[in-house]
Amino acid sequence: MNRDDFKELSRLRTREARALLKTRSYPGAYYLLGYSVECALKACICRQIERYDFPDRKLANAAHTHDLENLVRTAGLDSVFQQDRLSNADLDVNWAVVKDWSESRRYDYSVTEAQAAQLYKACTGRNGILPWIGRRW
């Protein structure tokens, strides 16, 4: 997997989530949206590695997680993200929604339309998390 692969996977998971929302498959949409953010952050992590360089073991181990807050730190985006969230309340509210996503929700079939729609908007909408990440990958 490389940076371009993660970028494409992020876009693909977002399109799939949108299609699932349209068919009222809310748990699947919710689940895939989190993976979209995860892949976008992993694209940012890939940007830190020079071509042909052997990746730092600590960085590689830290990148093998589904925890979005840890991925923001591993991508080296934590300070700029915090500054941007302080100056943009909408971005901060969106992150409050997105950061609580967990891959364990794959087993949760009780995700409601409201929850899935809220996550979709927080990821893709104005001041959404994915557009913010996309300016940095």
Q: What does the domain layout of the chain look like in residue ranges?
A: 3-134
User: What is the spatial distance between Cα 72 and Cα 134, in angstroms, rounded to a whole number?
Assistant: 13
Rounded CA-CA distance 55/68 in Å is 21
- The tokens describing 7, both together, are 């970028």
Q: State the residue for tokens 């997997």.
A: 1
- Mean predicted lDDT score pLDDT of the chain: 95
Q: How many angstroms separate the CA atoms of 39 and 14, rounded? A: 10
Question: How many Å apart are CA 47 and CA 42, to the nearest integer?
Answer: 9
pTM exceeds 0.75, yes or no: yes
Per residue in 51-104, pLDDT (tens digit) is: 767 777 888 888 889 999 999 999 999 999 999 999 999 999 999 999 999 998
In angstroms, the CA 77 to CA 37 distance is 14
Q: Which residues contact 128 (CB under 8 A, 6 or more apart)?
A: 94, 121, 122
The class that CATH gives domain 3-134 is mainly alpha
The per-residue pLDDT for 35 is 97
Residue 52: what pLDDT? Answer: 66
